Amino acid sequence: MATMLTSPADYSELIQSDRISGRVYYDAAIFREELEKIWYREWVYVAHESEVPQPGDYVTRQIGLQPVIVSRDEAGTIHLMLNRCMHRGNTVCQSDRGNSHAFRCAYHGWTYDNRGDLVGVPYAGGYDESFRKNEFSLAKVPRVATHRGLIFASLSASGPSLDEHLGPAKRLIDQFVDLSPEGEVVVRSGVLKHSYKGNWKMALENSVDGYHPNILHHAAMVMMTRGRTDMEAVFGERSDALARDLGHGAAQLDLNPVHTRNGGRVVAPMWSKETDLQYRASMTEHYGAPRAEKILAEGPPHFCIFPNIIFILNQFRVIQPLSVDETVISYFPTLLKGAPEEINRRRLNETYVIHGPAGRVAPDDIEAYERNQAGFQARVNEWLVLRRGLHREVRENSGVAGHETDETTQRGIWRHYREVMSR
């Protein structure tokens, strides 16, 4: 039977405890509401401090559909400004990244410094004494906060703090960054971008879906492990890994048991013994032996933070919606500051081998998203089933846990989505 829906969207009807309506992926009105209630109100990951290390450095990004500039001024302070001239609305910066102490609008020449202050207006005699340049600075993003070098922003002047938003995911960011012997990651090795004709939420929920890897990525798993790893014990019913709903839309595939058995990774390290000894010595020197051993045993965490950043293996995966059925995913490889060159070279190569245009994993996911979006055109009985593992979930202090192949993570994402969209 056809799904019975009300209009406008009733999110308690569209998103239920064990199923959701396909309408949330294709309805343009819902997408417009998401922009206002999620992208322009929640905390959104924007950039990493290491992308703008020097005075004058900048990158351009988007928060939802709104263009922003992330710049570092001469005093070392980072600014987030809307990339829109205060005169007639042109974007004042056209490059993805660079170094500049000023941004000049190409339309009428209004010029702003890298703090966003208006410093020059051509033919200034056309304005009388009531025109004050300090009243026409670039609009600033109302709230900006960082954790371990990650820059988050909110276009809402009020709301929960970043610490509240991150919750238990804050500890996982620490786990990711602490793999560096100096406690810092560097995000300056370029970016891979994939676009797909599908809704942005599919990339978020797929990132913490432990049910699909051995099926959708079967060939990749065989190639990457050379057939020597029992993948059923990693992404299968025999795995002792867990799926966790961390609250606020954050979710994790907890692979710590698998990592501990395999030297800190799903697949054992593939660098030389000499490099491994050097890395371990650096980690021990910085953290002390017990802490270093724990960090190395846990390895990189696998998790997402609502609505747009994903941590898998060695990279940040950032989701950028363009419309209800078009999305861009950016893969930023991260290097470990202070780690041996061979390890960082391996981290960089792994990103391209797995997620490049001819990579072993990302193209599978992209095709799956587009097939999903095509499937949503079938409008008879639109309910999508999210029942897997519902009967065996366990409540924890920091959230809900299920087996790695269960849909605990997706249910957690959708619960938060329903709460935010119902406000």
- SS3 state at 212: coil
Q: Which residue ranges make up each domain of the chain?
A: 44-154, 166-421
ω into residue 53 within 30 of 0, thus cis?
no
d(CA 232, CA 50): 38
**Which pairing describes strands 335-336 and 185-186: parallel, antiparallel, or unpaired?**
antiparallel
Q: Which pLDDT score is estimated for 4?
A: 44
> Cα(307)–Cα(250) distance, rounded to whole angstroms?
8
Q: Give the Cα separation of 239 and 234 in Å (integer).
A: 5
Contact 288, 343 (CB under 8 A): no
Q: What is the pLDDT of residue 120?
A: 97
Q: What is the pLDDT of residue 265?
A: 65
Look at residue 313 and give its three-state secondary structure: coil
Instruction: Say which CATH superfamily domain 44-154 falls into.
Output: Rieske [2Fe-2S] iron-sulphur domain (2.102.10.10)
Greatest Cα-to-Cα distance within the chain, rounded to the nearest angstrom: 77
The DSSP H or E segment spanning 399 is: strand 399-403
Tokens for 289? Answer: 């032996």
Which of left, alpha, beta for 183 (phi over 0: left; psi -120 to 50: alpha)?
left
420 and 38 in contact (C-beta within 8 Å)? yes
d(CA 215, CA 192): 24
The residues of the chain scoring below 50 in pLDDT are: 1-6
Structure tokens at 175: 């786990």
Quote the pLDDT of residue 5. Answer: 47
Instruction: Specify the fold of 166-421.
Output: Naphthalene 1,2-dioxygenase Alpha Subunit; Chain A, domain 1 (3.90.380)
Q: What is the pTM of this model?
A: 0.95
Give the pLDDT of residue 303: 98
For position 237, what pLDDT does the model report? 87
Determine the pLDDT at residue 257: 85
Pick the closest to residue 104 from 91, 96, 397, 302 (CA basis): 91
Query: Which helix (H) or strand (E) covers residue 305, if one does?
Result: strand 302-305
